[in-house]
Structure 1
């Protein structure tokens, strides 16, 4: 009996000692990263993560860069040292030169929602999936998507007009833009009519429950802890139930879409130009070792649904907000649109027409600079590295600060924090920009494969809205950019709207 008690005592003491070492001793006195400058830990449990999650998205990172430099150590869960980098040369090394030596860290929530498609695949799997998917995103294929995008944009315009005609002038644009983006990805991604703008959609409801529901400390904690303690997602909590239901809907819809297209392909009827049809047709021509599995094709759909609608919705929303805050810029854009499309009832641009609008291009680029949908990207080094003269042990989580680069005065001058589309007409600035200091879609072999689709969708949605409506801030209504789960307008994108007369 005594021996059993002694063994249990030694075990408990060992666990306490190990925890003490990992949380109290190793991060501050032994870790090779301890001499890297950065903010002090604020908590034994969450390090500096509470500050990152609770403040406006990206603000802590920018503050740290000003105080500590471009290479910063901060503390993650259980005081684990993390690295933050806002240096273009190091970013090139990590994302471009040696992209497969730096993998994406475990994200249990992300994997549950979109699976191991292009976003989370690594190594040979990623190379194979990327090679197979690239032909679906050619210039010509994107051009053929424009009529579908215009059709949904016109439905969105009609929905806003209905609100105004019913007497509403202060409108919550968050659900409208999100549903429009979902309807667009349904058409261009899978030739499928979600019709979420005009009728209830289980997929729209599922995404709304993830991205627009209240953000509580418990919800953030569950998201972070699930990476370390997977069973925590099985607890019968409301946040877990909501997340589980959303994942189930996404999985079920994706599986159904794949099965429907496979059935058409077997009957020789798969002649559409949506992304899924293109992927299946391409897949059927490849040797076995280069093909995607049925499961991987489902993951691509889950990825397109998530990344293809939420990022565009975020960008379009912030563009409207910035134009409402800067009426002169909004007037300039509308002047260009009126000249290009004199009869607003016949808004039906081609791909080339929408991309020929110079000031629209400036507004889009500036929005993606200061309100990029991905304010940072995260990586983990699979072996020991030396970065910026600092030794970085393998398995260190590394955050690459996209927004910090996009707001760097060294690159963008003293007005780096300001929304100024005209800066993109200045050759002294644009001649010094590269795919390493302006990276709204990341860079290298793991960059966003759908960037051309996203930009086309963004431009068309923004064009039809600004051509038809005037946007102003709602007096007394303040909007901030929340950090979790995505950099969206909080509490929602509310704007005062009026119709542009013919």
Structure 2
């Protein structure tokens, strides 16, 4: 009888536990999403019907276009990148309007392109609005819990340490470092031209990355690019794994812990990155002389915070990862796109070159000279409009919030497609998809009807900390290239914008480069 009673008790406990699990799954996968969607629907916001487990994820993944693999017969004349990279979202926007909802599994997302609401979201300073958990899970291996993905007091602490080191007064002191890094690239291209008999067919991506990597290494970490080359290569590999739309399933709870092929590769790369960063930190701590750079500031802050060794290491590693992205990745991809646009718009290349030659008169530009280059600034601004480094901005509400006339429930993800805002003909005019730097002749305020939608480096409290350094690098590099070379698109060039963590040319950019 006792055995039978125990068996009945065990069976009852298992049954109750199973029912509780089913109830919890039903609540998280069906009830809560339905309640949230109902709140949005009452306000006139609609969207595509989701499936229970995956929401609209499968539709999104199936809609992703294949990347071109054949050379362009002619330079790209228009740049409707939103339709190219995000066709399903553009389709939904046309169907449901400027405010619509969709689902990533049980995560309910409100997609916003209504300009007044976009402005309120991007300038909101409340800790009740932060980075969403979906993006954090997807990019955890790449950013950790650094300034780009963290929230609340953690984010505020990272910003307090990193922001002062990238203010304009500090960036001015990096002009010589940027100029010297440019010289290495100029010498490399000159040697390639000599080797290929006056015209070199160059895939510029790796050379631009080496330049940008050298700048961030020397300016912030006191080492040259060659020492950190392995580290940067691992970051590149991590971006390919972590930032691909093919791997969106990894953002679902628990998926990143499964021993899949991509997860195993991610774990290996994370381990190598951690080891390399800690090795650099160890070398720095063993030095007797004090170096006033960003790495030293991060180490000193970790020491002052009385963190455990494990927490200290993580803080330093995550800071390093985020600095890499802010000061290296965004600059490299923007410079690459800018040179592609100048190569396919010879008139603007000639105009920008004439301005550079008139201001510099054969010398390497200093900060004041760069500040006077109005046409070059316009070219860079237009490049950032058409090809913003991060074309998508995402947030999450941690409590019920109100933006404009919309009540946004707690735990709603908010998405803003920057690339859509940057190329909306209703805002920018009929030539919105064309390269026309002239629109920035009177600055960003005069460029379009609603200048608050121009946000290539983000906007508000979470604006990219590295934008001052990025603009210095871009101006210096492109000015020196223009004053030393002329260039056009190579017949081998394949126009293939692709979105991972940043928007970059999947097949690279090939230029025919001639010495002036």
**TM-score > 0.5 by shorter chain:** yes
What's the CA shift for 1:19?
5.8
Q: How many residues align?
A: 481
Matched, 1:204 2:227: no
Q: Determine the C-alpha separation between the residues in 2 that align with 1:26 and 1:109.
A: 22
Q: Determine the C-alpha separation between the residues in 2 that align with 1:431 and 1:175.
A: 33
Greater shift, 247-256 or 323-332, is seen at 247-256
Determine the structure 2 residue equivalent to 1:38: 47
User: What secondary structure sits across from 1:100 in the alignment?
Assistant: coil
Q: Determine the C-alpha separation between the residues in 2 that align with 1:355 and 1:187.
A: 23
Q: Determine the C-alpha separation between the residues in 1 that align with 2:331 and 2:443.
A: 28
Determine the structure 2 residue equivalent to 1:329: 348
Matched, 1:496 2:511: yes
Matched, 1:225 2:268: no
Determine the structure 1 residue equivalent to 2:101: 73
On the 8 A contact 1:61/1:401 being kept in 2, the answer is no
Q: Determine the C-alpha separation between the residues in 2 that align with 1:342 and 1:263.
A: 45
Q: Determine the C-alpha separation between the residues in 2 that align with 1:16 and 1:278.
A: 50
Determine the structure 1 residue equivalent to 2:280: 257
Residue segments in structure 2 that go unaligned for 5+ positions in a row: 66-82
Matched, 1:376 2:404: no
Matched, 1:57 2:85: yes
Matched, 1:118 2:147: yes
Alignment of 1:173-184 (within 5 A): 173-184=204-215
1:79-99 deviations in whole A, cap 9, x for unaligned?
Answer: 643111123332333232334
Alignment of 1:77-92 (within 5 A): 78=105, 80-92=107-119
Determine the structure 2 residue equivalent to 1:98: 125
What's the CA shift for 1:223?
4.8
What's the CA shift for 1:489?
0.6
Q: Determine the C-alpha separation between the residues in 2 that align with 1:49 and 1:263.
A: 50
1:274-301 deviations in whole A, cap 9, x for unaligned?
Answer: 33345557888x8989xx9564344222
Matched, 1:246 2:269: yes
- Calculate the TM-score normalised by the size of structure 1: 0.83
On the 8 A contact 2:141/2:266 being kept in 1, the answer is no
On the 8 A contact 1:254/1:302 being kept in 2, the answer is no
User: What secondary structure sits across from 2:340 in the alignment?
Assistant: helix
User: What secondary structure sits across from 1:482 in the alignment?
Assistant: strand
What's the CA shift for 1:163?
2.9
Q: Determine the C-alpha separation between the residues in 1 that align with 2:502 and 2:237.
A: 13
Matched, 1:235 2:259: yes
Q: Determine the C-alpha separation between the residues in 1 that align with 2:33 and 2:302.
A: 48
On the 8 A contact 1:334/1:467 being kept in 2, the answer is yes
Residue segments in structure 1 that go unaligned for 5+ positions in a row: none
C-alpha spacing 1:50/1:335, structure 2 compared with 1 (3 Å): same
Greater shift, 320-329 or 24-33, is seen at 24-33
Q: Determine the C-alpha separation between the residues in 2 that align with 1:483 and 1:9.
A: 47
Matched, 1:408 2:424: yes
C-alpha spacing 1:5/1:321, structure 2 compared with 1 (3 Å): farther
Q: Determine the C-alpha separation between the residues in 1 that align with 2:478 and 2:52.
A: 43
Matched, 1:134 2:159: no
Q: Determine the C-alpha separation between the residues in 1 that align with 2:495 and 2:30.
A: 39
On the 8 A contact 2:343/2:487 being kept in 1, the answer is yes
On the 8 A contact 2:326/2:464 being kept in 1, the answer is no
1:235-291 deviations in whole A, cap 9, x for unaligned?
Answer: 151x33332233223322322333333344xx3x2244x33345557888x8989xx
Determine the structure 2 residue equivalent to 1:270: 290
Matched, 1:195 2:222: no
On the 8 A contact 2:142/2:238 being kept in 1, the answer is no
C-alpha spacing 1:64/1:476, structure 2 compared with 1 (3 Å): farther
On the 8 A contact 1:382/1:395 being kept in 2, the answer is yes
What's the CA shift for 1:181?
1.4
Q: Determine the C-alpha separation between the residues in 2 that align with 1:282 and 1:136.
A: 13
Q: Determine the C-alpha separation between the residues in 1 that align with 2:207 and 2:269.
A: 19
Q: Determine the C-alpha separation between the residues in 1 that align with 2:232 and 2:443.
A: 42
- Calculate the TM-score normalised by the size of structure 2: 0.81
Q: Determine the C-alpha separation between the residues in 2 that align with 1:175 and 1:148.
A: 19
Q: Determine the C-alpha separation between the residues in 2 that align with 1:224 and 1:213.
A: 12
* Among 464, 467, 475, the residue aligned to 2:491: 475
1:104-137 deviations in whole A, cap 9, x for unaligned?
Answer: 1122343322322222332123223323333222
What's the CA shift for 1:427?
7.0
On the 8 A contact 1:469/1:497 being kept in 2, the answer is no
User: What secondary structure sits across from 1:116 in the alignment?
Assistant: coil
RMSD, matched Cα:
3.5
User: What secondary structure sits across from 2:84 in the alignment?
Assistant: coil
Q: Determine the C-alpha separation between the residues in 1 that align with 2:473 and 2:229.
A: 21
On the 8 A contact 2:342/2:349 being kept in 1, the answer is yes
On the 8 A contact 2:378/2:438 being kept in 1, the answer is yes
